[in-house]
Chain A
């Protein structure tokens, strides 16, 4: 069974109308298409990178798969469970490391934040302390856990978001541009953690949205290039690059029809 299955998913966001438009055409529905008939399959234990420029639809797809946005058309399944009909079941299998660092309570410590979210995820009090300690050790924030969240660096906040997503020990981890705004060392730590620790050591499926080419090339089993709400190319790095006969950058630029962004991976 696939870890993630997306079938013909389309998402159109309603456009914000001006006062004049609202008065003249109050019932007219206009919108911005974020996703157009997306089809995807992600096997368990894979590191899957969704790559594309800003506004391509990466975050929309991740939010749909995390039950935070509803698709307009199509179906999506997490371990065979329908996202819309079996939301509670789906939530048991997923963890979402939100890109938004403000998704924590800044005046609370890291531990207090994790304690709150652990309770919301049905982790009983008797097991909570152990579980929190476990994820904190795993992401290497032992020394900072007792400090207020507002004293954390961007990299630590990102790690804390991953720790929160791991509280329920999910099979599938969604990460939305986890290395955005990080210095090269912190970014490399997160990449290594996701690929080595999560995928290779713990056998988790990681669904990773990025616009960093080298990041995807180095760490993904499978890459999907998304642009204008459509999957333009999909496969392993080797298959996408014709067994290495042309660079991934070329594939990306051909699919997206715009220059590839400068890679931040490895400090390039």
Chain B
């Protein structure tokens, strides 16, 4: 009869190499799990990329209605509506992924019971949350890149010189900011199970007032202030300036600062609120309630 070998307790070395290695292995485990699950639904995988093609084509033909350089509000973005809107829809997809996928993952784990199995393991809450979003984060990068390649190669979007520093910083801060909003949505799901108001209120308001489909300059003054409190406004502004019109870093910086402020406030707050939500669910005994 085989005997179980005793695992030595993990000892964090001075440089924290063990801790980092274990952390990376955990994140990789989440990534692998989600990849294997998603890849097992082959047609959904292919369909999502086909959907990107269809939405790009739709906006390509809509943009034919707006002559280049005919609108003064599009002038700061190079004057081409297709380039403007493709950045909007490609990167707002990132918001949708964090805002909808993370709560959906938590909900699914809650309903099936995998959440309990994960929570009883020796993995901290931030790692569970970050790990659960990792695949979708990488997937969103892939779909955003696919969106842009399609726009450039198939639909002739003009990209001259990308400000990589501005684009990468804006993208990373955008991802962290949207992840925080996703975690806030997940808090609601953890406690109330369904009817997540973050998803539809924030999602709809961001779509309408965040500059996804049109520049916020066209909005009436009395409503424009809402745009300025939405992180997506700064994300899209920073990304358009980095990708379409290749602005100097100093012009992108205000957007990066605004996104940093949102991230510094929302990220720790969302983790804290998730801990509270988890505590409430443990207190109420509703971790696996449907």
CB A138 to nearest CB in B, in angstroms, measures: 6
Q: Does B28 contact A (CB under 8 A)?
A: yes
Query: If A98-B117, A138-B4, A169-B7 touch, does A119 touch B288 (CB 8 Å cutoff)?
Result: no
A47 to B28, CA, bound (A): 37
Query: If A91-B121, A100-B288 touch, does A108 touch B113 (CB 8 Å cutoff)?
Result: no
Q: Does A63 contact B (CB under 8 A)?
A: yes
A102 to B37, CA, bound (A): 15
Binary A-proximity of B272-290 (CB < 8 A = 1, otherwise 0)? 0000000100111101100
Q: Return chain A residues, CB-CB under 8 Å to B36.
A: 105, 107-108, 112
Q: Return chain B residues, CB-CB under 8 Å to A246.
A: none
Query: If A70-B282, A102-B112, A119-B28 touch, does A134 touch B123 (CB 8 Å cutoff)?
Result: no
Q: Return chain A residues, CB-CB under 8 Å to B284.
A: 13-14
Q: Is the interface of B mostly helix, strand, loop or mixed?
A: helix
Neighbour of B32 across the interface among A116, A122, A135, CB < 8 A: A116
Scan residues 195-213 of chain A and give those whose CB is less than 8 A from a CB of chain B.
197, 201-202
* Pairwise interchain contact A164-B117, C-beta atoms closer than 8 A: yes
* Pairwise interchain contact B4-A60, C-beta atoms closer than 8 A: no
Q: Return chain A residues, CB-CB under 8 Å to B29.
A: 115-116, 119-120
Scan residues 3-47 of chain B and give those whose CB is less than 8 A from a CB of chain A.
3-7, 9-10, 21-22, 25-26, 28-30, 32-33, 36-37, 40
Q: Does B118 contact A (CB under 8 A)?
A: yes
CB A154 to nearest CB in B, in angstroms, measures: 15
- Tell me the count of chain A residues lying within 8 A, CB to CB, of chain B: 50
Q: Does B1 contact A (CB under 8 A)?
A: yes
For chain B, the bracket of interface size reads: 35 or more
Scan residues 162-211 of chain A and give those whose CB is less than 8 A from a CB of chain B.
164, 166, 168-169, 197, 201-202
Neighbour of B2 across the interface among A14, A116, A134, CB < 8 A: A134
Q: Does A86 contact B (CB under 8 A)?
A: no
Q: Return chain B residues, CB-CB under 8 Å to A22.
A: none
Q: Return chain B residues, CB-CB under 8 Å to A94.
A: 120
Closest chain A residue to B3 by CB distance? A202
Q: Does A263 contact B (CB under 8 A)?
A: no
Neighbour of A169 across the interface among B5, B10, B116, CB < 8 A: B5
CB A100 to nearest CB in B, in angstroms, measures: 4
Query: If A13-B284, A14-B284 touch, does A124 touch B25 (CB 8 Å cutoff)?
Result: yes
Q: Does A117 contact B (CB under 8 A)?
A: yes
A91 to B122, CA, bound (A): 6
Scan residues 68-124 of chain B and give those whose CB is less than 8 A from a CB of chain A.
111-114, 116-123
* Pairwise interchain contact A134-B4, C-beta atoms closer than 8 A: yes
Closest chain A residue to B9 by CB distance? A92
A169 to B4, CA, bound (A): 7
Neighbour of A96 across the interface among B7, B120, B287, CB < 8 A: B120
Q: Does A121 contact B (CB under 8 A)?
A: yes
Q: Return chain B residues, CB-CB under 8 Å to A112.
A: 32-33, 36
A202 to B4, CA, bound (A): 8
* Pairwise interchain contact A34-B285, C-beta atoms closer than 8 A: yes
Neighbour of B117 across the interface among A13, A117, A201, CB < 8 A: A117
Q: In this complex, which of B37, B120, B288 has the most chain A Cβ atoms within 10 angstroms of its Cβ?
A: B120
CB B197 to nearest CB in A, in angstroms, measures: 17
* Pairwise interchain contact B5-A134, C-beta atoms closer than 8 A: yes
Closest chain A residue to B279 by CB distance? A70
Q: Return chain B residues, CB-CB under 8 Å to A105.
A: 33, 36-37, 114
CB A18 to nearest CB in B, in angstroms, measures: 16
Q: Return chain B residues, CB-CB under 8 Å to A164.
A: 117
Binary B-proximity of A95-128 (CB < 8 A = 1, otherwise 0)? 0101010111101100010011101111111010
Q: Does A40 contact B (CB under 8 A)?
A: no
A95 to B32, CA, bound (A): 24
Q: In this complex, which of B4, B5, B123 has the most chain A Cβ atoms within 10 angstroms of its Cβ?
A: B4
CB A174 to nearest CB in B, in angstroms, measures: 9
A105 to B37, CA, bound (A): 8
Q: Return chain B residues, CB-CB under 8 Å to A103.
A: 112-114, 116-117
* Pairwise interchain contact B282-A107, C-beta atoms closer than 8 A: no
Query: If A108-B33, A116-B32, A201-B1 touch, does A68 touch B116 (CB 8 Å cutoff)?
Result: yes
Q: Return chain B residues, CB-CB under 8 Å to A88.
A: 122
Can you spell out 15 A-B residue pairs with CB atoms less than 8 angstroms apart? A14-B284, A72-B283, A91-B122, A92-B9, A92-B122, A98-B113, A100-B112, A103-B116, A112-B33, A115-B32, A119-B25, A120-B29, A122-B22, A124-B21, A168-B7
Q: Which B residues fall within an 8 A CB radius of A? A: 1-7, 9-10, 21-22, 25-26, 28-30, 32-33, 36-37, 40, 111-114, 116-123, 279, 282-285, 287-288
Known: A102-B114, A164-B117, A202-B3. 18 other contacts (CB 8 A): A67-B120, A100-B116, A102-B112, A103-B117, A105-B33, A108-B33, A108-B40, A115-B32, A117-B121, A119-B28, A121-B123, A122-B7, A131-B5, A135-B4, A138-B4, A166-B4, A169-B4, A197-B1
Lowest 7 A-B CB distances belong to which pairs? Answer: A119-B29, A100-B113, A103-B113, A120-B121, A102-B112, A107-B40, A103-B117
